[in-house]
Structure 1
Amino acid sequence: MSRSSTTEADESSSDTQPKQAQSCLTDHETPAVNASDDGEHENDTDELGIPAGIDLSMLSMSCAELEAAMRLPYHAAADLIDEPAGTDPRFTGALADDRLAVLTKHLVGVAHESRVAITEAGWYVSVVDPSNVVMASAWLPAADWAAYDCEREGVIGLNWDGDGGSVSRALAHFERGATVAISYDDRTIALDDGIPFEFSTLDPGSTRQPPETPDLVLPNSFTLPGVDIDELTERMDDIADHVAVVGCPGTDGIELRAEGDTAVVTKEYAGFDDLTEFDGSRKHDVFATYIAAADRTVLSLDYLRNVFSTPRKRDLETGYTFRFGDGLPMKIERQLGSEGFLRYLQAPRVHSE
């Protein structure tokens, strides 16, 4: 498949491994993700009592047909990434340097290498840290590339950071705002801003197998600018090794509290005025809450800091949505381009009161 479009550009990690963090692979006997956890509740119906937006043709579909109709393009790529022994892909394209930098700097906070599924619909990345505490996924759809031509689909193993050939090494020399030509064939990837940087890729079978994401009901959500979370967790990390996230249904707000041996840092967010670092005016893009219960979860600050300390400050001026339940893993998501995303799942920390 070949396409070309014009898009706007978006604007080394810690290896510490806290011993008291649970694994993302912990089984939680909970049903699938609550469809209303984004805080949007639509009750509109037409005169026949049919909810707005429902396609009547779906009522006659079989379960298999319904499942196929609801699948998004990245789902097929996510399935492909679990089969790294398949076909070696062939690809050429072009992507804004800033967008590639945002992706890379977020991923290296989790791990230095990962599998990448290259498909006709886009690139899908899945990565997990060595302790299985944090896993991340990313989707770069074809529509967000300046040019995209996937001649053959497949999975590669890619070094995002480290000595020798890696994406980070190439990005260090690129001029900000440039469009980078990217090509892959026969175990070699090339990043070219006018001076080609080529390096060998990894055997995808040698990279860590991405774990299956547990099905979770996470009834609470809040969206904050990354710059606020970065500043807050940096201060918390100075005095404690964990942070408690608590829902406050009465105010539809949340409290983040870090307690050390001799100091405490607490911050409540119930409105846009509670933000301290974000100085823009896009309040609806960077602040929102939906708190259904007084749930509480505790996270390792070391791992949470890795998500926000490696990107550049300007890349954190967008909204990050957090979804949580009582003692359950925390989901974190931000938009990447017009249709892409970055997603994290961090296991809760075992903590005794």
Structure 2
Amino acid sequence: MGRVTLNDVSKAAGVSRATASLVVRGSSRISPATTARVQQAMKDLGYVYDRAAAQMRGAKTMTIGVIVPEIRNPYLADLLMTIERTLRVRGYTSLISHTSDDAEREAEILATLAERRVDGIIVHPSQKHGLGVLDRYTKQFNIPIVTTMRHLEETLAYVGPDNEMAGRLLGEHLRSLGVRSVTLVGGPSESSARTDRTAGLRAGLGEDIEFDAGGATATQTNYSDVGQLAMAQVFDQGQLPDAVVGYSDIVAMGMYVEINRRGLQPGQDVAVAGFDDIMMSSWLTPPLTSVAMWSEQVGTAASELVLRAIEEGAQFEPEWQLIDPALRLRNSTLGWRPRTVS
């Protein structure tokens, strides 16, 4: 039989490799029963713990895991490119994964990154992420974690755009146009970003303007195809609102398709706006009013924060950094005029 490995021990004991590793290193976080089972497997298999090799492995791997829900969205693509570039300058390699916004897949990726002993993790959590999951990795495996775009526990470091301010800026603009009704279209229903944008829109519009937070048109993904489907639902509800706001510019692009398909003109028959201000927003006809959410600033700040967390170790105090958004006005709202009442 060849050299007995920790994988052999973990299989024999019926535990994960990470758990077996914690036992052989004398961790107090593992229950006495599990510890005894792993130790018995070590004895039965003749496993010898190479402490010198383990000490060598304790050095930095110079890798950082980066997890996002998807990579087709241009905003997230720019975010990933910024993170990769910022970390590379500091000598780190990014291990990039996407979850398809699935919490189970996210858990698998987190476990794999922990096994590969990454020095830190930047994660855009899935919308159904279980509270406490990331906290367990920071405490059990001592991996610094920075969340981005969707915030979870206050105990976790976070970097993202100020979504509530973004909603408020857009709401105030629509109010200044004289709109009387607004519907938010698309966006993951269980996302903190959608919740914050909704609160901001409500505050910016004021109580006298009819506002539909679009719960019926919330979507599981953030693509243009679901934007078209969600906009069709708005039409099918009957009365078309004065303004429709896409959860993102990608969603708004799909909304354009459906508005045109219904024989109407975005920016004239209905005011349209979005969030993110991706490059393609200004290429649409008419150009799309959007709130710039600064993917490069978010990516740079998240990268710098996880690097600081790695350097400070146990002394690191998790903090939240919110990036101020900016409103970009274009003809999709500026060309709209209140409908005359006959």
Provide the TM-score with structure 1 as the length reference: 0.21
Which structure: greater strand fraction? 1
Rg larger in structure: 2
Which structure: greater helix fraction? 2
Relative contact order higher in (CA < 8 Å, ≥ 6 apart): 1
